[in-house]
């Protein structure tokens, strides 16, 4: 397997992890945020126009487990030991640029995943605990 093929797989995996974490936001964080801001009608409109949101919400544990596993695998691909760039100057520059972008996308995905996790699993228990 060539170095370029490995770079392409890593880039695709990183983007896939980003989009899977966006699913956690769409299923859980966005509706909770909208309802909190008094936009319940907007959530009802979203659910009626995109019924798959209900399915995502019903299976939110699986959504978070799968996207978390993708993030863990993406982290391993990005930060694994013995990861080198080419000694060719042009390829080395491209490899380093690709690595920088992969890391940025990865950390954005982590932030989105954590925001979704907070909204889906911790927001209600925290609210109940604070109201005591």
pLDDT at 16 over 80: no
User: Tens of pLDDT along 48-76?
Assistant: 888 887 887 788 888 888 888 888 888 88
User: Tens of pLDDT along 75-105?
Assistant: 888 888 777 777 778 877 888 888 888 888 8
Q: Dihedral sign, CA of 55, 42, 68, 76?
A: positive
Average pLDDT, the chain: 79
Q: Which residues contact 32 (CB under 8 A, 6 or more apart)?
A: 119, 120, 123
């Amino acid at each position: 397997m060539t170095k370029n093929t490995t770079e392409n797989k890593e880039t695709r995996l990183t983007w896939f992890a980003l989009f899977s974490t966006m699913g956690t936001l769409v299923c859980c964080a966005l509706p909770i945020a909208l309802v909190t801001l008094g936009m319940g009608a907007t959530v009802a409109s979203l659910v009626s126009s995109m019924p798959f949101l209900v399915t995502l919400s019903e299976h939110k544990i699986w959504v978070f487990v799968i996207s978390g596993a993708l993030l863990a695998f993406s982290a391993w691909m990005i930060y694994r030991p013995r990861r080198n760039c080419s000694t060719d100057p042009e390829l080395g520059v491209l490899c380093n640029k690709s690595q920088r972008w992969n890391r940025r996308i990865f950390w954005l995905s982590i932030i989105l995943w954590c925001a979704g996790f907070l909204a889906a699993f911790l927001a209600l228990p925290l609210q109940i605990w604070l109201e005591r």
